[in-house]
């Protein structure tokens, strides 16, 4: 079904691209004692369709982490047009969450398992004086950072490695494949993008913490290699704060969910 086509009868599975400011949420998934993106989205779906709908996400984001390209999927009996799902959900969602796009997908579409890659972006505000405008979107690192040095360390991460040092022990394989890790400076900002098939819990934030230590010459590129080689859980430190992290893109084979104006 395409946009503007007649409504389809029977159950449909939809994929949504969601943007959110994670500042006031305990994370993307349900939390016992904190608000979550999932709870808000399911509440909006209930108000729009009258159905009790459970959504699945492409990836878990922790408390305080943002997204411009999170993907959620659900099945509905509603015959509402695809455009109405976008506008209707946005009418019921709080101002810090927005549905950017909706697509019809196959009945068994799993946004987590079918994703071929995920891209995270981390922003560092590299100035000695704080910026009120960037405080909820970036990690202020007051010491000057050497971007070229950081990129050399980032290059070490490319390929398939055991990233145990960059995650807590959780009883799962810690082998992951990173296809790209790029570090760029834009004025006072340092932007780091990491693309991989999948990530471990805290992998990106621990990676950023180490890159910042290397950029400030408190660690070396050789230290990054050693962390990968030893693969001892939780040894990559510090853990960068959550507000600088944003899930910007989840990619799927044969399904275009890209946004032309993604931040």
CATH number at residue 152: 3.30.70.660
User: Alpha carbon of 58 to those of 29, 190, 234, 240: distances in Å?
Assistant: 11, 26, 24, 22
Q: Is the pLDDT of residue 121 over 80?
A: yes
Whether residue 146 is predicted with pLDDT greater than 70 in this model: the reply is: yes
CATH number of the domain to which 40 belongs = 3.30.70.580
* Domain closes at, from 96, 114, 132: 114
| Interatomic CA distance for residues 53 and 222, integer angstroms | 49
**Based on the domain organization, do 209 and 86 belong to the same domain?**
no
Judge whether 60 lies within some domain.
yes
Whether residues 188 and 206 fall in one domain: yes
Number of domains in the chain: 2
Does 259 or 49 have the greater pLDDT score?
A: 49
149 contacts 220 by C-beta, under 8 angstroms: no
Q: Is 158 exposed, middle or buried (0-12, 13-18, 19+ CB in 10 A)?
A: middle
Largest CA distance in the chain: 61
Q: Give the pLDDT score at 70.
A: 98
**262 lies in a domain?**
no
Burial of 99 (0-12, 13-18, 19+ CB in 10 A): buried
Identify whether residues 37 and 126 lie together within a single domain: no
Distance CA 115, CA 232 (A): 28
Clarify whether residues 97 and 121 are in a common domain. no
Per-residue confidence band for 3, with pLDDT thresholds at 50, 70 and 90: very low
Indicate the SS3 state at residue 261: coil
Considering the chain, what percentage of its residues have pLDDT values greater than 70? 95
Q: What pLDDT, on the 0 to 100 scale, is given for residue 260?
A: 67
Is residue 260 in some structural domain? no
Per-residue pLDDT reduced to its tens digit, 27-45: 999 988 999 999 999 999 9
The DSSP code for 23 is G
Which H/E stretch holds residue 118? strand 117-125
Q: Which two tokens stand for residue 177?
A: 């494949």
Tell me 255's DSSP state.
B
Is a pLDDT exceeding 90 seen at residue 152?
A: yes
Task: Given the residues 21, 62, 81, 107, select the one marked as catalytic.
Answer: 62
Domain extent, residue 174, equals 117-248
pLDDT, average across residues 98-111: 97
CA atoms of 142 and 130, how far apart (whole Å): 8
Residue at which a domain ends, from 68, 92, 114: 114
- Tell me whether strands 56-57 and 66-76 are parallel, antiparallel or unpaired: antiparallel
In a domain, 170, yes or no: yes
**77 flagged as catalytic:** no
Same domain, 139 and 152: yes
Lowest-pLDDT range of 22-26, 100-104, 165-169: 165-169
Final residue of a structural domain among 114, 132, 149: 114
Distance CA 244, CA 137 (A): 5
């Amino acid at each position: 079904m395409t946009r503007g086509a007649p409504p389809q009868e029977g159950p449909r599975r939809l994929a949504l691209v969601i943007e959110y400011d994670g500042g006031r949420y305990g994370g993307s998934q349900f939390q016992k004692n904190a608000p979550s993106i999932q709870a808000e989205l399911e509440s909006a779906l209930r108000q729009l369709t009258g159905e009790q709908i459970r959504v699945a996400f492409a990836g878990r984001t922790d408390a305080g982490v943002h997204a411009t390209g999170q993907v959620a999927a659900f099945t509905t009996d509603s015959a509402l047009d695809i455009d109405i799902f976008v506008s209707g959900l946005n009418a019921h969602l709080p101002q810090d969450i927005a549905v950017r796009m909706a697509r019809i997908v196959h009945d068994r579409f799993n946004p987590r398992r079918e994703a071929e890659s995920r891209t995270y972006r981390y922003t560092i505000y590299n100035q000695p004086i704080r910026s009120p405008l960037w405080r909820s979107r970036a990690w202020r690192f007051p010491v000057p950072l050497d971007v070229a040095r950081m990129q050399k360390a980032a290059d070490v991460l490319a390929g398939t490695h055991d990233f145990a040092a960059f995650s807590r022990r959780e009883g799962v394989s810690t082998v992951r494949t990173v296809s790209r890790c790029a570090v760029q400076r834009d004025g006072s900002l340092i932007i780091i993008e990491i693309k991989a098939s999948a990530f471990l819990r805290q992998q990106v934030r621990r990676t950023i913490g180490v890159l910042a230590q290397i950029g400030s010459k408190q660690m070396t590129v050789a230290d990054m290699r050693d962390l990968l080689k030893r693969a001892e859980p939780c040894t990559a430190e510090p853990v960068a704060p959550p507000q600088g992290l944003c899930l910007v893109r989840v990619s799927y084979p044969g399904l275009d969910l890209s946004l032309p104006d993604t931040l």
